[in-house]
Amino acid sequence: MKIGIDVGGTKCLGVAVDDSGKIVQQYRLPTPHADALCDTLVEIVAQLGEFKSLGIGVPGLISPEGVIRASPNLVGAKELALRQMMQDRLGKKVLVENDATCAALGEWKSGAAQGATDAWVITLGTGIGGGFISGSVLQRGAHGFAGEVGHMVVDPDGPLCPCGRNGCWERYASGNGLSYLANGEKGEDVLSRAKDGAADAIGVVDTFAKWVALGLVNLTNMTDPDVIVVGGGVIVSADVVMPRIAHWFEQLLYSPKHRAHPRLVAAQLGEQAGAIGAAMLGTSV
């Protein structure tokens, strides 16, 4: 059995998968302060049972050695040697990777990006994560930090981001960004009202979709993917959000009439994408 754990801003989700990638068991706990993170992860592993391999996806800058260098949405996690700490606790090899890179791996191997040679997987959650495949290779960058797209600055005079800078993409285009655009209303409530036809909520969702599309256009201009997979909690309401993202994407794309457009699709693996991808880390070469 392979185990994968996705560490999110609010919860840690662990899954046990068989050799075909099918989930046979899952278990979750609230995400603690970084001081207690290992305890929480060990408890999840204990609940899921014996394993052949263990992968963990964590938000932020994760070094090739499995050290959390910085993680704005994970309280207290800075220069945390998570991989070594978990190996010391469990006595077995552990793989640690950026959570969105894990989600990209999951969607590429068994989800919406199957068959793509060049793809982005963008997760719209508490913040924004990104992972990408280029030339049929999962990209990690020279130092393991590739894909931190949520911290592209799209508005230098915008709101303060937990990373310490102003106007990052995730301030406008994440779940928290949707709430910000709605003057503090919960994102799920905005989406629900938009689905019911409330004009003010529809307006907020349209503005949100434009911000999402702006970032996707920037990524497309840089890397020319054949597919962009959009996932995360916001895409639970894909029927409300995705058509508006597609509309603005076409409006904002450079020379849209003179190029092939990437397919914009909703993620297939839902909230389990990161955990499934983490379980596959040993086969990601």
The reported pLDDT for the residue numbered 21 is: 79
Are residues 150 and 250 both part of a single domain? yes
- Cα(1)–Cα(277) distance, integer angstroms: 14
The reported pLDDT for the residue numbered 280 is: 93
Residue entry with tokens 């969105």:
100
- Structural domain includes residue 108: no
The reported pLDDT for the residue numbered 235 is: 81
Are residues 79 and 143 both part of a single domain? no
Q: Give the residues of the chain that fall short of pLDDT 50.
A: 285
- Structural domain includes residue 109: no
Are residues 76 and 6 both part of a single domain? yes
Contact 60, 68 (CB under 8 A): yes
Are residues 60 and 150 both part of a single domain? no
Selection from 91, 103, 145 nearest residue 284 by Cα = 103
Helix, strand counts (H, E) of the chain: 9, 12
Are residues 172 and 98 both part of a single domain? no
- Cα(6)–Cα(126) distance, integer angstroms: 14
The reported pLDDT for the residue numbered 159 is: 95
Domain that holds residue 181: 114-267
Residue entry with tokens 């060990």:
42
SS3 state of residue 222: helix
Q: How many domains does the chain have?
A: 2
The reported pLDDT for the residue numbered 71 is: 87
The pLDDT tens digits for 23-63 are 999 999 999 999 999 999 999 999 999 999 999 999 889 99
Contact 173, 166 (CB under 8 A): no
The reported pLDDT for the residue numbered 284 is: 52
Task: Enumerate long-range contacts of 62-68, CB under 8 Å, 24 or more apart.
Answer: 62/96, 62/97, 62/98, 62/144, 62/145, 63/143, 63/144, 64/140, 64/143, 64/144, 66/94, 66/95, 66/96, 66/97, 68/34
Residue 201 sits in a domain whose CATH number is: 3.30.420.40
Compute the C-alpha angle 180/184/188, nearest 5°.
85
Are residues 89 and 144 both part of a single domain? no
- 0.95 exceeded by the pTM? no
The pLDDT tens digits for 134-177 are 999 999 999 888 999 999 999 999 999 988 999 999 999 999 99
- Give the C-alpha distances (Å, rounded to integers) separating 13 from 33, 123, 244, 262: 16, 15, 30, 30
DSSP state of 151: G
